[in-house]
Amino acid sequence: MNKFFAVTAAVSAVALLSVAPTMAQGKTLTISWWGFNGEKLESIILAPFRAQCGCEIVFETGNNGERLNKIQIRNGGGVDVAYFSDSYSQLGIEAGLFQKIDPAKLPNLAGAYDLAKDPQGGYGPAYSIGRVGIVYDSSKVSTPITSWNDLWREDLAASLTLPGITTTAGPMVVLKAGDHAEVDAFEDADAAFASVAALKPNVVKNYNTGSEMINLFSTGEVSAAVAQDFTLAQIQAAVPTAVWAELGEGAIATLNTVNIPTGAAEPELAYEFINFILSPEIQQQLAEQGVDAPVNTSVTLTPEQAALWTYGADVIAGLQRVDYVKLNAAKTGWIERWNEVFGM
């Protein structure tokens, strides 16, 4: 009898194992992401994940705002995994568009920096960490920039580009303007925007995309910028003397998160995918090939590879965090005030 049960159990197990890929086959995972680095992402992530899950993968591409709008219009449906920068994923969370994450279904999360594990109170983890800081052309800016307050220096007159208020990094300029005025921008927006107005003579143009900012550098229109570090390599390709400023107060952390929308048709497949992109092997490849900064603590990079990224425990520990709940609440009013400073 025992033999009978053993055979039955073995046959059942074989049957289940053979059915599992068949169940995944025919399933479709829909990913909402930016669409950059398509070829690299295909070879590093998509092809191996297709082989693992036996599923189809389709995409929705576009910038943060466009894609979040689409998910909102579909009331949280239409995609299974959504990539966003943290300011936008916070908006999605506040709009009830994303479901809470069960960490038990993401074993690879254990290897991530604490900052990346749960940045927004139970929703998607961060798969990449970046920073907002200052880039400047050392051949034109003779005195090195070492503080956020240096943005207001007179020698930077008509030579600075700021991120537009509608970009990820734009509102951070208001926070730093508040610091410059020695106030909390959330508490005293008047003083913060007086500082923004004082910065205006130094500003040539506010940019809305990374490529626009790189063009401003390469055409000689600007010699300094408040920028995200993922643009550094391209700026240096255009202007080899461009350097990342080591700021005494520290740079500001920007996290890119992955979330599962409330209306996801394949949530289990979404978990499998998120766990896959958090694995040490994938994180290592993404960092080595210049796609994304790693969040996995076991990733090891050469100094040349690491130069591009927010990498290493010390660097990550020195980052400043932004309270996006407060920021998003203040953002609409700030956009209005920013427009009045720069657009009147």
Partner 1 sequence: MKRYAGWTLALPATLLVVVFLVIPVLATIWTTFTTPAGPFATYTAFFGSGFRRTVLMRTIQISLATTAIAVVIGFLTAYVVSRSPGWLKSILIVAAVFPLLTGVVVRSFAWLIILGKNGILNSTLLNLGLIGEPMAMLYTPGAVIVAMVYLFVPLMILTLVGVLESIPDDLIQASASLGAKPVATFMQVTLPLAVPGLIVGAVLVFTGSFTSYATPQLLGGEQVMMMGTLMYQQAMVTFDWVAASTIAAVMVVITIAIVLVMTRLARRLNPMAV
Residues in the site for partner 1, rule: CB under 8 A? 63, 65-66, 68-69, 72, 91, 158, 164-166, 204-208, 212, 215, 219-221, 331-332, 335-336, 338-340, 342-344
Is the CB of residue 103 less than 8 Å from the CB of residue 114? no
Task: Please report how close the Cβ of residue 237 comes to partner 1 at its closest, in angstroms.
Answer: 17
What Å distances lie between residue 185 and 77, 85, 131, 169, 177, CA to CA?
35, 22, 20, 15, 8
Task: State which residue, 69 or 146, has the beta carbon closest to partner 1.
Answer: 69
The CB-of-72 to partner 1 minimum distance in angstroms stands at: 7
| Identity of the residue, 175 or 251, whose beta carbon is nearer to partner 1 in the bound complex | 175
218-257 CB burial, b ≥16 within 10 A, e <16: eeeebbbbbbbbbbbebbbeebeebbbbebeeebbbbbbb
Q: How far is the CB of 339 from partner 1 (least distance, A)?
A: 5
d(C-alpha 56, C-alpha 29), whole Å:
6
> For residues 148-187, b (16+ Cβ closer than 10 Å) or e, as one string?
bebbbeeebeebbbbbbbebbbbbbbbbbbbbbbebebbe
Smallest CA-to-CA distance from 255 within 139, 145, 114 is with: 114
Q: Which lies closer to partner 1 via its Cβ, residue 49 or residue 338?
A: 338
Distance separating alpha carbons of residues 189 and 206, to the nearest angstrom: 20
Of 232, 218, 194, 202, the C-alpha closest to 337 is: 194
| Min CB(331)–partner 1 separation in Å | 7
CB of 145 to partner 1, least distance (A): 21
Based on CB atoms, which residue is closest to partner 1, 97 or 109? Answer: 97
**Residues 143 and 127: beta-carbon distance below 8 Å:** no
Q: Find the helix or strand (DSSP H, E) in which 135 lies.
A: strand 126-137
Residue 218 or residue 297: which is nearer to partner 1 going by CB? 218
CA of residue 131 relative to chain centroid, distance: 9
Cβ proximity to partner 1: between 65 and 248 the closer is: 65
Least Å distance, CB 245 to partner 1, is 22
Rounded to a whole number of angstroms, the minimum distance from the CB of residue 235 to partner 1 is 16
Shorter beta-carbon distance to partner 1: residue 56 or 340: 340
Question: Closest approach of Cβ 187 to partner 1, in Å?
Answer: 22
Task: Name the residue nearer to partner 1 (CB basis): 239 or 293.
Answer: 239
Query: Given the structure tokens 């070879």, which residue do they identify?
Result: 43
Residue 133 tokens read as 């800081």
